[in-house]
Amino acid sequence: LLATGKGTDVLFLDTHIDFVTPEEFSKYGLTEGIEAIKQKNDEMSQRAWSERCLDRLGRGLLIYGNENQDRLPQSLEEIKKHIPREEQYQWIVENVQYVGAGLKFSQSPDLVVAYDKTLLAAGRGTNALFLDTHVEFVEPERLAERGLPPNPGK
């Protein structure tokens, strides 16, 4: 409801529930909380899109590997034909740091091959694509153990 901008249901301390419009938020002291919720929703949407694009990248890398003796490409340009949606490919080119050049799929599955450099720059961790093609969110305190650069937000 809140994402529509029309308001949301609120549970009050006396246990009644009422619909509150954005104009009424400040009356109940909700303005800061609502902005925080909106920001969190935006962050979650960004992370979800990042995860979908990295997943698509992983599938594209697998196809490329099958065609090229188990090797990963030297650059993202080499897999463009394996990313069917142009908007995803463009997002990948603009937001992903590819570090899989020279690797083979037969190597350790827990190696990071790509990560979302935009999320990393925001300072709250990042989505990472691993050699086994799973995507995982890596919290800031675990960046180094995954071989990722330190969190620039700290």
pLDDT tens per residue across all 154 residues of the chain:
666 667 778 888 888 898 888 777 777 766 666 566 666 667 778 889 999 999 999 999 999 999 999 999 999 999 999 999 999 999 999 999 999 999 999 999 999 999 999 999 988 899 999 999 999 999 999 999 998 888 654 4
Exposed (0-12), middle (13-18) or buried (19+): which is 129, by Cβ within 10 Å? buried
Contact 41, 64 (CB under 8 A): no
Describe the crossing of helices 31-67 and 86-95 by its angle, rounded to 10 degrees: 100
- The pLDDT of residue 105: 96
